[in-house]
Amino acid sequence: MDFMSTKETAEKWNISQRRVAILCSEKRIPGAMMVGNMWIIPTDVKKPKDARTTRFLHDSTSPIKPFVKWAGGKAQILDIIRQRYPSGLGKTITKYAEPFVGGGAILFDVLSKYRLEEVYISDINHELMDTYTQIRENAEKLISVLSTLEREYLPLPDGERKNYYYSKRKRFNALKTNFAASEEIAALFIYLNKTCFNGLYRVNSKGGFNVPVGSYKNPTICDTDNLLAVSKSLQGVKIVCGDYKESYDFIDDRTFAYFDPPYRPLSVTSSFTSYTQAGFDDEKQTELASFIKQMCRKGAFVVVSSSDPKNTDENDNFFDKLYDTLSIVRISTSRVINSVGAGRGHVSELLISNH
C-alpha cells in the first residue's frame, strides 16, 4: 500500500495540514497511522465528509488539558468555578471571553462543554499568546520540534540535562528579544515550562526568562494527543496579546467573561511568580474592578478569581470593599504561598460574580 504525507494529503483534498492531522487523530481516515511524529495516509483513501456542525464544541472523550503549567492555575478548583458558570451558557449566552487566559484551564473546560458562537482570549505575555497561536496554526510543526527536544533531553544524566536546559533558555531569550513568532520559540516556551523549577514563568528587569532548571525525572514535554486536541479547540478563537481593556468591544450581554488577574501577593516572598516586567499593584486592581463593573452594566455575566488578603490579615478588606456590589464567596484551595515547601498549604481564595 502506498502512503502520502499530511502535506500531500492537504494539497490533494484542498484543506490545511492541520485539518488532516485532526482527521487522523479522530480516526476518521481509514488506514492512517503515526510513524515517528508524522501521520501518513493511504493514497487511495477518500476525503471524509466534514462532520463539523457546531463551532467550539470539543467532541473527544478525552478532556482538553492546559498545555503548560501556570502559576495560579485553576485545574484544582475547576469543579467549584463550574458552579459559577451562568445557567444560559451555550444557549442564550453564546460568547466567552477570558482576558487573563494564562494556562487556560477554564477556557478548555468551557470549549469542551458548550456550544459557542464567539470566543476571545488574551494575555499580556507575548510568548504565551504566540504559543496559543502556533498551536492553533502550526500544531504539526510544533509537535515535531517538541518531540526532538523531548528525545534529546530525557536520556541525559542530571548534569547534562542542566547544561541542555540553560542552552535552550539562552536560545529562547535570544529569540524573544526580537519578538519572534515561530514554532521554535513556542516549542521552547513549552519545553522550558515543563522542565523549569515549579513550572514558573518569571522574567528579570530586562524581560529575560530567568527561572532555573527543575528536577522533574520524566516530564512530558510533548503531549501529542493533547496538543492536537487543543489545536482543534482553538480554531476560530480570537487570540489577542494585549491588556484586558482590549476586550471591551467584544464583551456584551451575551457574554460570559472570566477574569483571573495576577493575584495580590499573600506575602513578600510570594510575589516571585511575576511573569511580566510590569507588576499588578493595588492601583491596577482598582482599575480592573472599575472595568469589570462596566462589563456588568453592559449585561455581561462575570466571574473573577482573586487572592484573599484575609489569609494574612483578617482586617484587610481591600477586595471586599472593591467588589462590594458583587457576590463574594471564599473558597479553600492549596497554593504555594512562598518559595519553600513549608509555605505550601490551604489558603482562602475569592470567587466574585454578578450572578
The CB density around residue 89, as the number of other CB atoms within 10 Å, is 18
Phi, psi of 332 (to 5 degrees): -100, 135
pLDDT of residue 272: 42
pLDDT of residue 278: 54
Domain extent listing, the chain: 3-42, 75-124+242-353
pLDDT of residue 24: 87
pLDDT of residue 275: 47
Nearest residue to 38 (alpha-carbon basis) of 186, 172, 144: 144
pLDDT of residue 258: 98
pLDDT of residue 54: 41
Q: Please state the pTM of the whole predicted model.
A: 0.80
**What are the cell numbers at 189?**
516556551
pLDDT of residue 335: 61
CA distance linking residue 88 with residue 92, whole number of Å: 5
pLDDT of residue 53: 37
Q: Domain spanning 75-124+242-353 has what CATH number?
A: 3.40.50.150
Residues 6+ apart with CB under 8 A from 20: 6, 9, 10, 13, 29, 39, 41
* Residues of the chain scoring pLDDT < 50: 51-54, 268-277, 337-343
